[in-house]
Amino acid sequence: MSFPETGFPITLTVNGESRSLVLEDARVTLLDALRERLDLTGSKKGCDRGQCGACTVLLDGVRINACLALAVSHDGASITTIEGLADGDVLHPVQAAFVDHDGFQCGFCTPGQIMSAVGLIREGQAGDDPERVREGMSGNLCRCGAYAGITEAVLAAHAAMHAPDVLPGGHLIEDAA
């Protein structure tokens, strides 16, 4: 199918909410659609070329770089951004673990780190192996150098999410620092 020259209407399910918009042209990336058109500025633009990971979101449950995806190509998709992770005031276990383990400094790469960590845990490939976590998180640059805390946070969140009696939210995670 070909789109009209007047614009490209698309609908995305963002953080569980259906959001419709008309793109004036097809070159709008998913990241710019979120940031500039849906006012979801949590996802960050660090390089705009898939080289830093700050824009990481879940696309149909899978972590990707939103800067290297055309919004129009993902019409109908389900997107989870950092804004959609917490349950009201209750932080997601990964978010809570990042706070507890000081997995950030300036915070600019943090939404991407956290979405990447959520994706990594879902992928189930790294488990509780710190080396696999480090490798799996290497698509997210942190110029402040918070990698040690990030790795600890991902491992702690993984443990919390896989504990048999996990409670909603992350506040009960014991500090392992």
Partner 1 sequence: MNRFDYVRAGSVAEAVAAHGAGAAYLASGTNLLDLMKGGVTRPERLVDISRISGLDAVETLPDGGVRIGALARNATLAHDPAFAKAYPAVAEALLSGASAQLRNAATTAGNVLQRTRCQYFYDTASACNKRQPGAGCGARGGATRTHAILGWSEACIATHPSDFCVPLAALDAIVEIEGPAGRREIPLADFHRLPGDAPERETELAPGELIVAVRLPPDAKKFAAHSRYLKVRERTSYAFALVSAAVGLTLEGNRIGQARIALGSVALKPWRAREAESLLADQVPSPELFAKAADAALAGATPSGDNAAKIELARRIVVRALTLAQAGTPARVPALPASPFAAAPSGARP
Partner 2 sequence: MSERMRHGASIGQPLTRRDGPAKVTGAARYSADFHPAGMLHAVMAVSAIARGRVVHLDVAAAEAHPGVVAVMTPENAPTLAKSPDEKDNPFAFRLDLLQNSGVRYANQPIGVVIADTLEAATEGAALLSPRYEAEAPGVELGGGEIFVPDSVGAGTPTEQGAGDIEAGFASAATRMEATYETAAQYHNALEPHTSVAQWDGDRLTLHTPTQALWIAKGRLAGLFGIPEGNVHIVSHYLGGGFGSKGFISSPQILGIMAARLVGRPVKLVTRREQMFGPVGHRASTRQTLKLGAKADGTLTALDHHTLTLTSRHDDFVEACGLIARHLYASEAISTTHAVSRADIGTPIFMRAPGEAPGSVAVESALDELALALDMDPLDLRLKNYAEVEPITHRPFSSKALRECYAQGAERFGWGKRPKQPRQMRDEDGLLVGWGMGTATYPAGMMQGEARATIRADGTALVETAAQDMGQGAWTVLAQIAADGLGLDGDRVELRIGDSDLPNGGLAGGSTGTATSGSAVHAATQAALAQLEDLAVNDRASPLYGAGNAGTVAENGRLARRDDPTRSESFSEILARAGKDSVEAKGTGAGEPASRKTYAMHAHGAVYAEVKVDPDLGQIRVTRLVGAFAAGRIVNPRLVRSQYYGGMIWGVSLALHEHAVLDTRSGRVMNPNLAEYHVPVNADVPSLEAILVEEHDPHVNPLGIKGVGEIGITGTAGAIANAVWHATGTRVRDFPITLDKLLG
Residues with Cβ < 8 Å from 77, sequence gap 6 or more? 12, 13, 59, 60
Helix 147-162 / helix 93-100 crossing angle, nearest 10 deg: 140
Comparison of 61 and 107: residue with beta carbon closer to partner 2 = 107
Amino acid at 143: R
Classify the C-alpha dihedral 41-141-159-64 as positive or negative: positive
Classify the C-alpha dihedral 109-115-118-119 as positive or negative: negative
Q: Does 11 bind partner 1 (CB under 8 A)?
A: no
Mask for 130-149, x = binds partner 1 (CB under 8 A): -xx-xxx-xxx---------
Q: Does 123 bind partner 1 (CB under 8 A)?
A: yes
Task: In whole angstroms, give the CA distance from residue 91 to residue 156.
Answer: 14
Mask for 28-67, x = binds partner 1 (CB under 8 A): -x------------------xxx--x--x--x--xxxx--
> Judged by CB under 8 A, which of 100, 121, 155, 169 binds partner 2?
100
Task: In whole angstroms, give the CA distance from residue 102 to residue 152.
Answer: 9
Which single residue is written with the structure tokens 């149909």? 60
| Beta strands 17-23 and 78-80, pairing class | unpaired
What does 41 interact with, of partner 1, partner 2, none (CB < 5 to 8 A by kind)?
partner 2
Q: Does 168 bind partner 2 (CB under 8 A)?
A: no
CB of 48 to partner 1, least distance (A): 6
Comparison of 46 and 90: residue with beta carbon closer to partner 1 = 46
Q: Which residues bind partner 2 (CB under 8 A)?
A: 24-25, 27-28, 32, 35-36, 39-49, 51-52, 54, 81-83, 85-86, 91, 95-96, 98-100, 102, 104-111, 114, 130-131, 134-135, 137-151, 173-175, 177
